[in-house]
């Protein structure tokens, strides 16, 4: 196993997530895309820790921070979707475009 392989996996996860985040209309599906992107970041950070500097805990702590960011993204995303849905019955991004006007 080399860092290259793990970074390729991370890149693939990130790209799949990016496709989802850009192409989906449903807010929930966009969040799934974002989760996949963050997953790629987790893999990359973990592999850097293992293959570059395993003696220090920095890489592991970075993974912990990224996992926390993922939970925050999920909680806030669903809160905003719930708010939008309550206020306007909107569950897709195209239905919530007031700021364009």
Site for other proteins in 9-68 (CB under 8 A): 9-20, 22-29, 32-33, 35-36, 39, 42-43, 46-47, 49-58, 60-61, 63-65, 67-68
Q: Rounded to whole angstroms, how far apart are CA atoms 17 and 47? A: 19
Decide if residue 95 touches other proteins (CB under 8 A): no
Q: Rounded to whole angstroms, how far apart are CA atoms 22 and 6? A: 24
Q: Of 37 and 101, which CB lies nearer to other proteins in the complex structure?
A: 37
With CB under 8 A as the contact rule, the residue among 86, 98, 99, 101 that binds other proteins is: 86
Q: Of 68 and 101, which CB lies nearer to other proteins in the complex structure?
A: 68
Q: Of 6 and 100, which CB lies nearer to other proteins in the complex structure?
A: 6
Give the interface size with other proteins as a residue count (CB under 8 A).
Answer: 71
Q: Rounded to whole angstroms, how far apart are CA atoms 80 and 90? A: 11
Q: Rounded to whole angstroms, how far apart are CA atoms 73 and 79? A: 10
H or E, element range at 52: none
Collapsed DSSP state (helix, strand, coil) of residue 26: strand
């Amino acid at each position: 196993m080399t860092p290259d392989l793990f970074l390729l996996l991370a890149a693939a996860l990130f790209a799949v997530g990016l496709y989802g985040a850009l192409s989906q209309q449903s807010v929930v599906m966009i969040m799934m895309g974002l989760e996949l992107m963050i997953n790629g970041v987790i893999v990359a950070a973990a592999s850097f820790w293992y293959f570059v500097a395993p003696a220090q805990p920095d890489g592991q702590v970075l993974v912990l921070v990224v996992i926390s960011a993922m939970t925050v993204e999920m909680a806030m995303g669903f809160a905003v979707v719930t708010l939008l849905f309550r206020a306007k019955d909107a569950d897709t991004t195209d239905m919530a475009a007031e700021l364009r006007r």
